[in-house]
Structure 1
Amino acid sequence: MAPLDNAFHSLHQNGLLVLANVADAGGARMVERLGGKAVATSSAAMAWSHGYQDGNKLPLDLLSTTVKSMARVLSVPLTVDIEGGYSDDLKQVGQVINAVIAAGAVGINIEDGLGSPELLVRKVDVARTVADRAGVKLFVNVRTDVYLKNLFPAEQRLEELLKRAALYAAAGADGLFAAGVIDADEIATVCRETRLPVNLLSRDGLPSLDELKRLGVRRLSAGSSIAEFLHGAMGALVSSFLDNGQLDTHALKAHTYGELNALMAAKTE
């Protein structure tokens, strides 16, 4: 069997890799048992599972031990969402990447967010250096938030995304996470104009799996959606049990990302 890092790269070459993002070892085991060809974390889901907000809040020791616990139960590749590297200090970013590789990850997601594309280029360079030193063919999936965070007016978004895609490809990225793109014509353009395997985020209005394959998409991620439903369901079950000692499953629904992130805000001293 090919090493897991080589295997993960190969999964992006043909067909559509569907990743059900999870937060812990139990979820990772379930995804593999249900046929997942690889397992991905959601930074938000992982943070919430430890009582932290998403957004560079999760301590490195918790990130590292959680990844290690997931890798222990898996025989398929594991890729870890490290947000923006949990820092803009390149030395600290390198420490984060080294920690998740040492814990068993063979892929990472790293994002530009509200930062400059040039900063993310430097982070990608750090990732390549750290991975080479560790002897791991790390799959660096670069997420650009041009669409997801509405960084530009609608008429400028596609052009800006393609500029960033070219910049990240030249920097050594292995994949492009065009989070927030849902229009079929724009998806086709992104897939045509970048040499990187294109990753999309599951959202309402996204084309079907068959259509995504036809358009050239190589990877589809659930993001935090699974965790949002699970926490919403848990809240409804707990509420009914506290009220009447019964587990009412009839009105289960997801919490929103905003509700969950607000819930995990640190208590004031």
Structure 2
Amino acid sequence: MTTAERATELRRLHAAPELLQVVNVWDVVSATAVAALPGTRALATAGHSIAATFGYPDGEQIPLHLMLDMVGRIVRAVDVPVSADLDAGFGDAGETVRRAIGQGVAGANIEDQLKPLDEAVAAVSAAVAAADAEGVPFALNARTDAFVRGRDRSLDTNIADAIERGRAFLDAGATSVFVPGMFGEDVVARLVDGIGDRKVTLIGLPGVPAPARLQELGVARLSYGPTTQRVALGALQDLATSLYDGGVLPEGIRPLN
């Protein structure tokens, strides 16, 4: 498929009645392992995980060219649409999206870092305009950090802020609104009611309802961020500890690489 076709499919998956689950990956081998599963309809990269792979902390510390090179390698290794985590746009959301599209990316997260609303909307508008200029119906998953950076505020304030920002992002051309946070069913329902059915995307965290319930509530997409890499690294540490303690390799190891 062309990049435009992959982007069209990714937008369709967001709008479909079924919840879109995207398991986050960070390199080619993690991507191909997940893409080989029958349930995989799309993939998402985790910016935190890619940065960690190269020894950088999260938060746009990794050089953009290095991040995009890995994302491009992932795109070329799989047949499903790939959504990239582009942090806050690396100082120029429009140019970063243009370069990501050049790597075959079908969609992306751009976070607002709780910047003033006009600045956050301008970044979304720039990303959408860049995709339009490339002729790609980009699936922009505009992220608001209303909860992530609003821990000192009341719950009602965070919900109202997320809804205001989410609506503004959709008006600026975003496909969906990513609201990461650790909250339960009542908050999810209020966010969907305020932002729109099949417009809210969430991250799987303790306390967040199960996928089947999120689908019933009208959530569009569920991703898992850096947790997938942490699970893989935890399994590696556990294996190494067992081997150091005199254990042996378990039976049934799958040759996924």
Same fold (TM over 0.5): yes
Q: Secondary structure at the match of 2:66?
A: helix
Matched, 1:52 2:53: no
Secondary structure of 1:131's counterpart equals helix
Over 3 Å counting, the alpha-carbon distance change for 1:133 and 1:219 in structure 2 is same
The alpha-carbon distance between structure 1 residues 145 and 247, as it changes in their structure 2 partners (threshold 3 A), is farther
One-letter amino acid of the structure 2 residue matched with residue 70 of structure 1: I
Counterpart pick for 1:34 among 9, 32, 37? 37
Q: In the TM superposition, what whole-angstrom CA distance separates every residue of 1:110-166 from its partner, at most 9, and x where no partner exists? A: 111142222121111111121111111111101111112335322311111111112
Equivalent pair of 2:182/2:206 in contact (CA under 8 Å): no
1:69 aligned partner, one-letter code: R
Residue 105 (structure 2) pairs with residue 105 (structure 1)? yes
How far apart, in 2, do the equivalents of 1:29 and 1:144 lie? Answer: 30
Matched, 1:191 2:195: no
Distance verdict in 2 for CA 1:122–1:50, change over 3 Å: same
* Percent of pairs with identical residues: 30
Q: Distance in 1 between matches of 2:56 and 2:185?
A: 35
Residue 232 (str. 1) matches residue 231 (str. 2)? no
State whether residues 181 and 187 of structure 1, in contact with CA within 8 Å, keep that contact through their aligned partners in structure 2. no
Residue 47 of structure 1 contacts residue 54 of structure 1 at CA under 8 Å; is this kept in 2?
A: yes
The question of 1:118 aligning with 2:118 is answered yes
Q: Hey, what's the Cα distance between the residues in 2 that align with 1:108 and 1:64?
A: 12
**In 2, Cα distance between equivalents of 1:187 and 1:155:** 12
Gap regions ≥5 residues in structure 1: 250-269
RCO higher in 1 or 2 (8 Å CA, sep ≥ 6)? 2
The farther-off stretch of 114-123 and 127-136 is 114-123
Q: Distance in 2 between matches of 1:116 and 1:56?
A: 19
CA distance in structure 2 between the aligned counterparts of 1:205 and 1:247, rounded to whole angstroms: 36
Change (3 A) 1:194 1:154: closer
- Residue pair 1:142, 1:173 contacting (<8 A) in 2 also: yes
Q: Is the 8 A contact 1:20 1:40 kept in 2?
A: yes
What's the counterpart of residue 139 of structure 2? 139
The match for 2:156 is 155
The 10-residue stretch of structure 1 (92-101 or 50-59) with the greater mean CA deviation from structure 2: 92-101
Structure 2 Cα separation of the partners of residues 18 and 133 of structure 1: 29
Q: CA deviation at 1:246?
A: 5.3
How do 1:249-268 and structure 2 match up within 5 A? none
Measure the CA separation in 2 of the matches of 1:248 and 1:118: 55
Match of 1:128 in 2: 128
Q: Which amino acid aligns with 2:231?
A: F
Contact 1:200 1:220 in 2 (8 A): yes
Q: Which runs of 5+ in 2 are unaligned?
A: 251-257
Answering whether residue 39 of structure 2 is matched by residue 25 of structure 1, we say no
Equivalent residue number for residue 169 of structure 2: 168
Is the deviation greater in 178-187 or in 215-224?
178-187
| Superposed CA offset, 1:216-237 (max 9, x none) | 1110001111111222333444
Match of residue 84 from structure 2? 80
Aligned-partner Cα distance in 2 for 1:221–1:113: 19
Q: Paired residue for 1:260?
A: none
Deviation, 1:238, is 4.3
Offset, 1:40: 0.3
1:57-76 pair list within 5 angstroms = 57-76=61-80
TM-score (norm 2): 0.88
In structure 2, relative to structure 1, the CA distance for the partners of 1:248 and 1:115 (3 Å cut) is: farther
User: Deviation per CA, 1:196-254, whole angstroms, max 9, x where unpaired?
Assistant: 6110110111112221111111100011111112223334444565x5675688xxxxx
CA RMSD of aligned residues (A): 2.0
